[in-house]
Structure 1
């Protein structure tokens, strides 16, 4: 607590006292605390009406869980922070540490080290490490650029839990393409998903969408073009160069962490953390125009030898009635989302 007091973390200290966690951090340990900057903490508290209102709206158990998600047992030093390392918190969830090198002119944490003209930047659940560690008798203190929210248990859980229901069409297409089970928490990860919203699917012409939904192989390849291996948070994407997707294609990421585009498509909401990856909500469907040209070219495309006869027999024998009903469901959801948008 003394380290927090000397770090001008007044808002976090106030919340720790309201949650009755100040004594825990002062008298026991050792612990490692990833403390949000006062600016990040103030932004959240202000949005909820103030510290006392935050406690009332969240309830004490949820506030305790949020705060303990920033605390790990033991001393953590800078050399302990390595790429894709997971650390168990006192809240039970895990923090994901990532490291990447950026051009020396890029904004980086004060704990970054130089190597030639590139610097090593460390993130915690995508939030930049601002400073640290500062050491005390009972632990270590790091400062991070954002409040760390406990993540959903997996990519699918996060899509399902979206409070605005923006990913219902994506979930249906993942199931139709046979990718739903592969993205379950205990089977996949870490992965990065560029997730088209319902409104993004609503921009795809209905005829093209129906043809795509009737061809599971092509649908699967389209969706794999939205997936990449590893947790690629926005801080990393801005300096990553082309990103290799699970479809074998590449996507180009441009802009800053606050204004990213993927193949020219706007990232609407970046860095949705999950236990097995990260989601970036996007405003379009990647590869949609390539799929359109493949569909219109029919047997003349390079796809024909690989999929045309095989897909037709598979579709008719294995999926005809199932696909038609699921296609109707997807297009109905898409039509509804289009009207809502």
Structure 2
């Protein structure tokens, strides 16, 4: 115990002595402005990369790949995507996802029914009663208290900003009529 105290005291005195010593070092430090670009990690990702990074949209991303819509949603946009989670896809009747993956035109209709041209934030959505999707049909929008519904699907997370639009997370897959 006494040895630890002596070592600690000697160390502390050494630091004090070093700090108080006079030095004739006349070195001047000049700050150099940082002219490098911001790292890619700080840049906002597009809709597809945001969905991939989130981890709750693996089925949606796989469907976008199968329907060859990835490049579209990585494009300039802006787009608003009402994105169903993996749980929303799992809640569909058995065989529905496999059936859609086997019928690319039907899959494309379903996926583009989740996308609206333009950037529609939550504050804008509550002022609308419908919106035209890229599929060509309208989705109905209704507000009940603090909840917003797209058709019968509840918006559970709003305004996930991306470089080419916005994502609103929904709790059910939207299926166009017909």
Q: What's the TM-score bracket when you normalise by the shorter of the two chains?
A: 0.7 to 0.9
1:160 equivalenced with 2:52 (yes/no) = yes
The CA distance in 2 between the partners of 1:151 and 1:192, in whole Å, is 19
Greater relative CO, 1 or 2 (CA 8 Å, sep 6+): 2
Q: 1:274 aligns with which of 152, 155, 162?
A: 162
1:206 equivalenced with 2:98 (yes/no) = no
Q: 1:254 aligns with which of 137, 142, 145?
A: 142
The CA distance in 2 between the partners of 1:202 and 1:151, in whole Å, is 32
Distance 1:203 1:253, change over 3 A: same
CA RMSD, aligned part only? 2.1
Deviations 1:245-267 (A, max 9, x none): 00000011111694211102111
> 1:243: Cα distance to partner?
0.3
> 1:237: Cα distance to partner?
0.7
Could you tell me which runs of 5 or more consecutive residues in structure 2 were left unpaired when the two chains were aligned: 1-36
The CA distance in 2 between the partners of 1:263 and 1:151, in whole Å, is 33
Count of residues paired in the alignment: 139
Using structure 2 for the length normalisation, give the TM-score: 0.72
SS at match of 1:284: coil
> 1:240: Cα distance to partner?
1.9
Could you tell me which runs of 5 or more consecutive residues in structure 1 were left unpaired when the two chains were aligned: 1-90, 93-149, 295-341
Distance 1:250 1:279, change over 3 A: same
> 1:179: Cα distance to partner?
0.2
The CA distance in 1 between the partners of 2:64 and 2:145, in whole Å, is 27
> Which has more radius of gyration?
2
SS at match of 1:153: coil
SS at match of 1:252: strand
Distance 1:212 1:225, change over 3 A: same
